[in-house]
């Protein structure tokens, strides 16, 4: 990302799962680069509850390094995002729809609060600024399903915040389609240049299909980013497996074989004699071969 930004790439919101979102150094670096983010975190991440902050650092005595770490007391302690979610009232959660799925509209219960992160002492500001804590708690579940930290603006509405958080699943689905449908995962070389060329062609093909779908105005389906395929017609003589006609054809074959094996053998025809029919001749040839065997 640093290389892309140095070359003039635009700045967009960064999305990541809990594998990256749980790394405070990663989040701090995104903030230093001026990139907003919506990242997943684990339930063990600690934050300061709304309205509660630590005491300022001790006064500098003039000796050694000045103290920067905020002080915690017995009454001023951060809590995990899981405990904070359980402490929220039921009225804090709202049902939000974020996407039209294959069968129905995807929705869930969400709550968002402004909290400062309290874990670690990385960065110049030991007391981190407030950011969004987004909690997804499906109705009927005993514990929340997902947690997110976001540095999007404080005046963002909950619907837009949820839509940004769930945009990562669309990216994951696109990546899965690239591997399974367009051969991104079929590369078997060992060099970076070859893989780069292979990935470039796969992504270009994917972009072409997305453009065709948008231009055709196709409705959303199971694979929303693919052009609707035309199903070829069955041939006129096609017999489905398990149909009565197919079963009758299989029963007829053993009977024909028995008739061929039991047919009489005709002697070689003499000049002026009547030749047997082609079917009788075929039976005779088959019987003679069976006798020699």
pLDDT tens digit sequence for 84-118: 999 999 999 999 988 766 677 788 899 999 998 87
- Contact at 8 Å (CB) between 150 and 131? yes
Task: Kindly give the pairing relationship between strand 130-136 and strand 146-150.
Answer: antiparallel
- The domain segmentation of the chain, as residue ranges, is 2-53+72-165, 166-231, 252-292
pLDDT, tens only, 238-289: 777 667 766 665 555 555 455 544 555 545 555 554 444 455 555 555 656 6
For residue 123, with 0-12 CB atoms within 10 Å meaning exposed, 13-18 middle and 19 or more buried, which class applies?
middle
Instruction: Report the distance separating Cα 36 and Cα 222, nearest Å.
Output: 31
Single out the residue of 46, 47, 28, 45 nearest to residue 37, CA to CA.
28
Does the pTM exceed 0.85? no
In the chain, count of helices (H) and strands (E)? 9, 8
Strand order in the sheet with 37-41: 14-16, 37-41, 146-150, 130-136, 105-116, 94-100
Q: Distance between alpha carbon 196 and the CA centroid of its chain, in Å?
A: 22
């Amino acid at each position: 990302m640093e290389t892309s930004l140095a070359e003039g790439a635009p700045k967009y919101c960064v999305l990541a799962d809990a594998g990256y979102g749980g790394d405070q150094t990663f989040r701090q670096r995104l903030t230093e680069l001026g990139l907003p983010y919506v990242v997943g975190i684990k339930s063990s991440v600690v934050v300061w509850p709304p309205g509660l902050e630590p005491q300022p650092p001790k006064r500098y005595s003039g000796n050694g390094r000045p103290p920067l770490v905020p002080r915690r007391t017995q009454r001023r302690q951060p809590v995990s995002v899981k405990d904070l979610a359980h402490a929220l009232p039921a009225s804090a959660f709202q049902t939000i729809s974020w996407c039209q799925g294959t069968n129905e509209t995807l929705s869930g219960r969400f709550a968002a609060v402004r909290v400062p992160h309290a874990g670690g002492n990385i960065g110049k500001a030991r007391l981190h600024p407030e950011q969004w804590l987004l909690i997804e708690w499906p109705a009927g579940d005993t514990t929340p399903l997902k947690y997110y930290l976001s540095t999007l603006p404080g005046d963002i509405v909950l619907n837009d915040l949820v839509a940004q958080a769930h945009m990562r699943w669309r990216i994951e689905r696109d990546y899965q389609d690239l591997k399974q449908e367009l051969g991104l995962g079929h590369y078997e070389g060992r060099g970076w240049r070859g893989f780069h060329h292979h990935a470039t062609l796969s992504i270009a093909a994917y972009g072409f299909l997305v453009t065709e779908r948008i231009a055709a105005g196709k409705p959303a389906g199971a694979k929303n980013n693919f052009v609707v395929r035309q199903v070829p017609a069955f041939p006129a003589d096609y017999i489905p497996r398990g149909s009565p006609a197919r079963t009758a054809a299989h029963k007829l074959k053993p009977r024909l074989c028995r008739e061929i094996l039991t047919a009489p053998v005709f002697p070689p025809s003499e000049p002026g004699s009547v030749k047997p029919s082609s079917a009788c001749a075929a039976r005779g040839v088959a019987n003679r071969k069976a006798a020699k065997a």
